[in-house]
Chain A
Amino acid sequence: MPSFNFVLLTIVGTGLVTWISRITPFVLLKKFELSKGVVEFLSFVPIAIMSALWFENLFIQHIGQLPSIEWGNFLASVPTVIAAIISKNLLVIVIVGVISLGVIRFVFGL
């Protein structure tokens, strides 16, 4: 691991770029209005981003080849989706998900 000062500088640098990404739209949109077309485009952001974050975890990247399946996450997603449909409760969904993956790893050693 690099020195304390190097790590601290990295933390500050990564914090800064993340902060700028987070606040710039808030600062700009205080003054400017979004067009109707942009608003329509953005209405798809929640489902697109949540599904992209989920699906990205189901595969293992091999640049230049088709990705392989991350079987642990893939299998654990099944009971998690079922828990979502039945309970519609985020807490239940998260607990079912974590226990599922724990059991899958214990049983199959994935």
Chain B
Amino acid sequence: MNGELTVPAATKDTLPTVFGYIGIGLAFGIVGKAAGLSPLLVTLMSIITYAGSAQFVVVSLLAAHSPILSIIFSVFLVNSRMILMSTTLAPYFKHESMIKNILVGSLLTDESFALGMNKLNYSDNHLNFPWFNTANLLAYMTWILSSLVGAVLGNFISNPEKFGLDFALVAMFIGLLYLQLISDRSIKFNLQLIVVGFVLVAIYFGLIFIPSSLLILLVTLVACTFGVVMKHAFF
């Protein structure tokens, strides 16, 4: 990764994450087909809902014949972390037009967010529309295509877990976290490690009494507060 904020640079920066989207997209298509969704509905969900892991939640709730409002509310909870990511990202696009802001926001994902945050460490703390939109669009196309292919392949493969494809997402989170840790110089490395450790403990004990759909958001909020307090007290 370098400081260039161009379309070719964005393509190069996004390429590694594309393989993650392919893995999870294929897995989603296969799982959706196995649960009884047609390839058309699988693809429509990837186009319209476009919510990565939350789409797996939707499929399992649909299969369990849950009421529509409870499905929508679950997805809102799982994706409420998007509000936090958009709030973090939006100030870097203040100089762009409203329509470009909405476009960047509409296709934002965990991975494009993390990529953008990583990019800031190389680009002198700047982001722009061409770079981010390219990263977003590549992810979006890859996700749609691979879930369609997965749904079609679903006739031949019954359990995608066997191949470890579902780990692509987790591996991506690990990679993006590590790259952020070593390149973000705005927060001291030791403080970042302490916050990561705090998150581990909070997730472990939070799982006892907080539904996992809500836990990610709550732990993130508490961990950020913890980080600010530690920064002022010790760093």
Contacts and interface: CB of A to CB of B under 8 A. Distances in A.
Contact of B164 (A4, A34, A57, A98): A98
B141 interface: no
Interface of B: 15-17, 19-20, 23, 35-38, 41, 44-45, 48-51, 54, 58, 62-63, 65, 68, 71-72, 75-76, 79-91, 93-94, 98, 101-102, 104-106, 108, 110, 113-114, 117, 161-182, 184, 186-187, 192, 195-196, 199-200, 202-204, 207-209, 211-212, 215-216, 219-220, 223-225, 227-228, 231
Given A44-B227, A59-B203, A67-B207, A15 B48 contact: yes
Interface in A18-70: 18-19, 21-30, 34, 37, 39-57, 59, 61, 63-67
8 contacts: A7-B37, A10-B68, A25-B105, A30-B98, A45-B85, A49-B84, A52-B216, A66-B207
B168 A94 contact: yes
B21 to A, nearest CB: 10
Contacts of B110: 49-50, 53
Q: Which of B80, B86, B231 has the most CB of A within 10 A?
A: B86
A64 B113 CA distance: 33
B91 A39 contact: yes
Given A22-B105, A90-B16, A47 B82 contact: no
A56 B214 CA distance: 11
Contacts of A23: 86, 101-102, 105-106
B196 A47 contact: yes
Nearest to B87: A25
A39 to B, nearest CB: 7
Given A18-B50, A47-B192, A42 B207 contact: no
Given A13-B68, A14-B71, A46-B184, A90 B17 contact: yes
A44 B192 CA distance: 8
Interface centre among A6, A7, A96 (most CB of B within 10 A): A7
